[in-house]
Amino acid sequence: MFKRGIIQMKLRTIKYMVREGFSNTYKNLLMTLASLTMVISSLLIFGVFLMVTVILSFNLRQMEKQIAEIVIWLEKDIAPLEADDIELRLKNDVRVLECNRITKEQAFAELNEALEDPSLLEGYTPEFLSESFRLRLKDVNQIAEFADEAADITGVEDIDFPKDFLERLALILKWINAGSMFILALLLIISVSIISNTIKLTVYARRKEIGIMKYIGANDWFIRWPFIIEGIIIGLVGSVISFVITSYLYNALESYVSSEAVVSGMSLIRMVPLKDIGGQILFVYIIIGVVMGVVGSIISVRKHLNV
């Protein structure tokens, strides 16, 4: 009975805190709207930057996949059976996504097409060229390691892949991710500061009620929790509204890009379908919104609950 009574008391306390949190949100409607507007504005600014980052990163990675081709040149006098063994070894490697063998005849035909003046090849035969393999890997980050291993294969003359370009591209992607984190941190600091100042006004407006609660023995956390729940509500509602607005803007941009691609017959920018990233974006919005609300509440109550 005693334990049951304690549980009931805790449940009543939780219900009271939640009810007070919702009540504070409604009673202080003007302040709530001010905090909500700040959360939505911050998340929309972050959302726009996030969408640009996602689209840019996606297109850079697509470019990376397209150009990340390894060309393995074989020795000119390599025996056909030895070349077959190398081909089998490459195709059976779990890291290889695609492997195409370019014979001397195919290489000669490609060279003939590439030259503006085919007469330059008069007197030459395919025998002066080398056989090669053109490969694409499942993971672009494994290219350098794979190339080093392939260079040690007997019968391999040379390895060619855009090492410098891939390194620059990786550096660009790294800076894009770092910039995203910096913008996020900056927006969080600004938003938390404004939300905490807004909640300070709520604490000040209820200072007499808080003083009475302290007088009858209520501890600090019992008083703080309704404000924290208020911050959670503001952050949660703001994140959902921000996601709805962001989704609408993203769909409008995707439709525009798709229509332009149809008209021009080509697309310089590829959009990531919202259905593929919508869930993650909503999750990020909710986490950020709730964190802004909770941290803003804790800061304001901790510093200004002087009763």
Residues 76, 207: one domain? no
The span from the first CA to the last CA of the chain, in angstroms, equals 36
Q: Is the model more confident about 292 or about 116?
A: 292
152 and 195: one domain?
A: no
CA–CA separation, 266 vs 256, rounded Å?
A: 13
The number of domains in the chain is 2
Residues 289 and 238: beta-carbon distance below 8 Å: yes
Which range of 137-146, 228-237, 294-303 scores highest in mean pLDDT? It is 228-237
C-alpha span between 129 and 102 (Å, rounded): 11
Same domain, 55 and 183: yes
Residue 304 pLDDT grade (very low, low, confident, very high; cuts 50, 70, 90) = low
**220 and 105 share a domain?**
no
pLDDT band at 261 (very low <50, low <70, confident <90, very high): low
Flag whether pLDDT at 266 surpasses 70: no
- Residues 126 and 273 reside in one and the same domain: no
Q: Is the pLDDT of residue 221 over 50?
A: yes
pLDDT in tens, 81-133: 888 888 888 888 888 888 888 888 887 787 777 676 666 667 667 677 788 88
Q: What is the pLDDT of residue 116?
A: 67
Same domain, 120 and 261: no
Same domain, 286 and 182: yes
- Residue 151 belongs to what domain range? 70-161
Is residue 118 assigned to a domain? Answer: yes
Q: Does a structural domain hold residue 255?
A: yes
The whole-number pLDDT of residue 169 equals 74
Listed residues 161, 177, 207: the one ending a domain: 161
Q: Tell whether 2 is covered by a domain.
A: no
Instruction: Identify whether residues 239 and 197 lie together within a single domain.
Output: yes
Phi/psi at 270 (nearest 5 deg)?
-105, 135
**What is the reported pTM?**
0.64
Decide if pLDDT at 79 tops 80: yes
Q: What is the CATH number of the domain that holds 141?
A: 3.30.70.3040
Residues 191 and 45 in one domain: yes
Separation CA 138–CA 150 (nearest Å): 16
Final residue of a domain: which of 117, 134, 161?
A: 161
Strands (E), the chain: 69-74, 96-102, 132-137, 156-160
Which tens digits make up the pLDDT trace of 21-55? 677 677 767 777 877 887 888 788 878 877 877 78
Residues 141 and 191 in one domain: no
Assigned domain for 103 exists: yes
* φ, ψ of residue 93 in degrees (nearest 5): -70, 130
Question: Which of residues 161, 191, 217 is at a domain's end?
Answer: 161
Q: Is residue 3 part of a domain?
A: no
pLDDT band at residue 265 using 50, 70 and 90 as cut-offs: very low
Q: Give a yes or no: residue 5 inside a domain.
A: no
Whether 270 and 205 map to the same domain: the answer is yes
Whose structure tokens read 């035969």? 125
On whether residue 208 sits in a domain, the answer given is yes
Say whether both 220 and 146 belong to one domain. Answer: no
Higher pLDDT: 196 or 175? It is 175
Return the higher-pLDDT residue of 110 and 64: 110
99 within a domain of the structure (yes/no): yes
